[in-house]
Each structure stands twice: as C-alpha cells, then as structure tokens.
Amino acid sequence: MNANLFLALRQGFPQDLDSLAIETDQGLRYSWRDLDRASAMLANWLGSLDLPEGSRIAVQVDKSVEALMLYLATLRAGHVFLPLNPAYQSAELQYFIGDAEPAVVVCTPANFGWVSKLAFQKGSRYVMTLDDQRGGSLLQRAAHHSDQHTPAMRRPDDLAAILYTSGTTGRSKGAMLSHANLHSSAQCLHHYWGFASSDVLLHALPIFHVHGLFVAIHAALISGCSMLWHGKFEPQRVLADVSRATVFMGVPTFYTRLLALPSLNAQACAGMRLFISGSAPMLVDTFTQWQQRTGHTVLERYGMSETLMLTSNPYAADERHGGQSLRVGGSVGFPLPRVSLRIADTQNREVPEGEVGSIQVRGANVFAGYWRMPEKTAQEFTSDGYFITGDMGSRDAQGYVRIVGRSKDLIISGGLNVYPAEIEDALNNQPGVLESAVVGVPHPDFGEVGCAFVLAKSGVTLSPEALLQALKSQLANFKVPKQCVVLQELPRNAMGKVQKNVLRDQALSLRSTH
C-alpha cells in the first residue's frame, strides 16, 4: 500500500472539489481543486528534474498558499520538504543548506542573488523563486506541466520532511519526520479535537514551523475544512475574521495581543468552537482573562518538532471528570491517544505523582532521529525506545501534565534544583507583574543563581528590590533570584518562545558591569 501522506490528506478533501478550501486576507479564493491541480503541476515539475530519491527541497519564502502547494507537491513527488524561517540570514542559511544539501532551493526573488550563490556553492542543482503574490520562476516552470499526477509510492518510514529545531539552546538540529509520523499525528488531532468539514480554521501562524504547517494545516486538510488564511498575525484583522471561523490556533502571544483589543468579547467569538494554544506556555492569567472576556476556555496542548503533538487538554466530555470537559490553565493536559508519556528520574524510572522529572515519550508520532547526527540521536533515546524531550514536568493525581521548563534551563543552586517555572509563577502573582522569565547564571559560591527579568503591567512602576523581598516570604531562600531586572519586553523567537539564551547573555553582561 502507498503510505504517501498526500494520499491521506487528499482523502480528506470534500466531495465537491469546487467548494472553498482557502480564502486569504488578500481576498484570494482557492478551491480544493485548485490545491489538487496546482500541487500536481508542481509535483510534475519536480518529477521532470529527475532527482534522486529522498532529495531535499529547501524552501525559504514568505507565507503564501502557493508555498503550501509546494509542500503538497513535495509530498506527492516523494521528496523531503525542508521549510526555513524567512528571517534567517546568510550565515544561518549557509549552515542549513550545508547540512541538509538540498537538491532544490526555493527562495524569494529579493534574496535570489545571495541565496543562489550560496546554494550552488553547496551543491544544490536548482534555485527557484517564489513571492507571496504568485510571482517568481517556480510557478512559471510549473505552468508547463500537467495538472494530473499520481503520488509517488512511499513506505511509512520514508522521510517526508526535515524540520530544523528552533535552537534556542544550541545548534539547530534537523528532525527527520516520516510519512507515518505526520499521518499518525494528523489523524489523531482530527479525531481528538473533533474536526469536521464544516469547520473553518483561522490560520495566522507561520508555515515554516510544526505548529502552522503540521498541526494547523494537516488538521484542516485531513478534515476537509476550509481555512481563512492570514499572511501574518495582525490582531485587528484576525479578530475581524474570528466571527467567520470556528477554530483558531495560536501561540500565547497571539492571545495576549488579542486581549489587548477592547473589541474582543463574547459576541465576537460567538461562532467559535475551539481556541487552541501551544508552542510556549500560556500564563494562567491569560487563560483566565480569555475565559472572562470571551466565554471560551482555551485548550492548551504540548508538542515539539521532533515528536509532533504529545499532550492536549480534553476537548470532548471526558469520563475521567464525570462527563465534564475540563481544560486546566497552566497544564498541557493528558497524553494524546497512541502517545506513551512518562515522567522519569535520571534512571529513566517513572517518578511519583506530583514530582518533577524528565518528560519522555514514545509513539508512532515520534521522529526517526536527527539528520546526519546518529550519535546525538542515540543520546536522546533511552534504551527502551523513549525519546527524551528535554522538557521537565510533573503529573498530578488526575493525570494532568505540567511543564516546568527545559532541562537545560534548570538552575542548580548550592546543589539544589530550582525550576524557573516555579519562580516565574511566584513572580507573575506579584501585584503589577505582567510576565517574567528566570535564568541561571554562574556564581562563585553557589555554582549557579537565578536572575529574574520582569515586565510590568501598563502604568505600573515595579521595584526589583521589593519583588525579591516579596519572593523571600514565599519561597525557600535558595530559590529566590539574586538579581531582578525590569524590562519593556522579553526577547522571543517567531513562535513566541522566550529566548532564554539571550536573557542569559544579558544577565552575564549585567554582572560583569556591576
């Protein structure tokens, strides 16, 4: 049987191929037939290049429906899709292209000069262009090809995509995802979140990342549900479309920015079925405010490039709670069906309920390893086949999972473990604090100590000394950061993740100037 993921997605398309699949914020409308035909033409073009099996197709372009068609075409042709953040500059691209050795690189017309030079130097055979207005050489080439195409035969374990991890803690690694990994996760989300062809997904996420590409787009395509497509997240424009949508997926920053709009209320969200958040922790305050303002309870879920989706708060009524749907703020919910998750100690044994340990997972969704890094891959799997996520967490009596941070963010002060999430929670509960991030910095006596960065709520002036004093009355002294800095903004990457490495550098430079 052909395990090509495209076939599974294509099966989800509705019977009426002329119905609306995607409407963009530029007013363009694409039918399911458009998606099918255009991806066939692009796949035929790829086929005409006679590339070796498993060739990588690297794509660094702005968000557009045509970029999505190129992804589908890559699946159809049986090659490996490699999306790259358009914000990457020359040195970064050099690393990715050198590491992945793509046969084809697709970039924006504006970047063609430097990208093509770099790609040809690294051995790529073709460099094409695509912009977000349907311009560039790629579509011109594809226009000469047939709009009929039979998807290439693929086995379940064949590679479908490589996603480079965001690398907030070190060198970015290419996570190799197979057709079966992606299919398993897409099917799971379709069922678990109750997707139907009557849904309308409001899509405002970037599509070079697992969240926008694999979680959102796969869930929509495999369910035959249409999308309202936003090139980028602009809160006003997104809110204006909420009334026409039924499902929204966002990173926590999307939610805080929407909450800043006075017109966000229950009426604006009356037609919505589901708000989903992930990629970074949502503050309980945001979760509660969203409930109060809109009447909707955000469903928070957890996953990563290497594993796709792992846990989710309940969508449907859940027998564990007497038939009630219970989504809990500050928790990422329960392991999804077919995902085995354990919270383990350093010997890879399950820790007792409530205790913090390393989150380890196994399942059909878990990737095949890091691209050309067999040793790194071996280090990240336990002998019984669990992937060590690098996240630390706990599970409560009801089974809800909570994430307390990355293991690399763990601060060991005077030999004792300090979890930044616990300190951040305590700080966030202080009057006037909007948000916080705690990092560890080397200390001659304690080995490491915490440094806290806080943001004030609008109109409030915070006193760092008073905040640290307040923490001392609530937390054991070894947990209290030795330094506190008030910032205007926290450094974040494109997915809204706080870049702790940037804060760590800042904390170090603060110390050296004191």
Min CB(282)–ligand AMP separation in Å: 7
Min CB(165)–ligand AMP separation in Å: 5
Q: Which is nearer to ligand AMP, 106 or 280 (CB)?
A: 280
One-letter identity of residue 451:
C
Binding site for ligand AMP (CB under 6 A): 165-166, 210, 278-281, 300, 302, 304-305, 332, 389, 391, 403, 406, 495
Which pair of structure tokens corresponds to residue 59?
């794509």
Which pair of structure tokens corresponds to residue 196?
């139907």
Min CB(205)–ligand AMP separation in Å: 11
Q: Which is nearer to ligand AMP, 124 or 297 (CB)?
A: 297
Min CB(116)–ligand AMP separation in Å: 28
Q: Which is nearer to ligand AMP, 165 or 223 (CB)?
A: 165
Min CB(402)–ligand AMP separation in Å: 9
Give residues with Cβ within 8 angstroms of 82, minimum separation 6.
Answer: 56, 57, 58, 59, 96, 100, 102, 161, 162, 163, 164, 174
Tokens 């309202």 correspond to 228
The full length of the chain comes to 514
Give residues with Cβ within 8 angstroms of 170, minimum separation 6.
Answer: none
If one counts every other C-beta atom within 10 angstroms of the C-beta of residue 33, the result is 15
Min CB(237)–ligand AMP separation in Å: 25
Q: Which is nearer to ligand AMP, 3 or 259 (CB)?
A: 259
Which pair of structure tokens corresponds to residue 135?
């311009």
Query: What is the distance between the alpha carbons of residues 120 and 127, in angstroms, rounded to a whole number?
Result: 8
Q: Which is nearer to ligand AMP, 55 or 253 (CB)?
A: 253
Min CB(318)–ligand AMP separation in Å: 19
SS3 335: strand
Query: What is the distance between the alpha carbons of residues 174 and 170, in angstroms, rounded to a whole number?
Result: 13
Q: Which is nearer to ligand AMP, 24 or 394 (CB)?
A: 394
SS3 15: coil
* CA distances in angstroms from 236 to 114, 232, 492, listed in the order given: 35, 11, 21
Asked if 369 contacts 387 with a C-beta cutoff of 8 angstroms, the reply is no
Asked if 420 contacts 405 with a C-beta cutoff of 8 angstroms, the reply is yes
Min CB(306)–ligand AMP separation in Å: 7
Q: Which is nearer to ligand AMP, 24 or 297 (CB)?
A: 297
Q: Where are the beta strands (DSSP E) in 364-432?
A: 369-370, 387-395, 401-406, 411-413, 416-418
Side-chain half-sphere of 275: how many Cα atoms within 13 Å?
Answer: 24
* CA distances in angstroms from 307 to 6, 64, 246, 315, 369, listed in the order given: 19, 25, 27, 21, 10
Which pair of structure tokens corresponds to residue 491?
């450094």
Q: Which is nearer to ligand AMP, 126 or 275 (CB)?
A: 275
> Which of 422, 421, 430 lies closest to 498 in space, CA to CA?
421
Min CB(333)–ligand AMP separation in Å: 9
Min CB(144)–ligand AMP separation in Å: 37
Q: Which is nearer to ligand AMP, 151 or 390 (CB)?
A: 390
Which pair of structure tokens corresponds to residue 486?
């008030």
Q: Which is nearer to ligand AMP, 107 or 251 (CB)?
A: 251
Q: What's 18's DSSP letter? A: T
> Which of 369, 452, 14 lies closest to 195 in space, CA to CA?
14
Asked if 161 contacts 182 with a C-beta cutoff of 8 angstroms, the reply is yes
Min CB(138)–ligand AMP separation in Å: 27
Q: Which is nearer to ligand AMP, 30 or 208 (CB)?
A: 208
Q: What is the dihedral of CA 416, 422, 427, 429, to 10 degrees?
A: -150
Q: How far is C-alpha 411 from the geometric centre of its chain's CA atoms?
A: 25
Q: Which is nearer to ligand AMP, 145 or 504 (CB)?
A: 504
> Which of 230, 235, 222 lies closest to 206 in space, CA to CA?
230
Min CB(361)–ligand AMP separation in Å: 10
One-letter identity of residue 508:
L
Min CB(332)–ligand AMP separation in Å: 5
Residue 138 φ/ψ, nearest 5 degrees = -60, -50
One-letter identity of residue 279:
S
Q: Which is nearer to ligand AMP, 310 or 467 (CB)?
A: 310
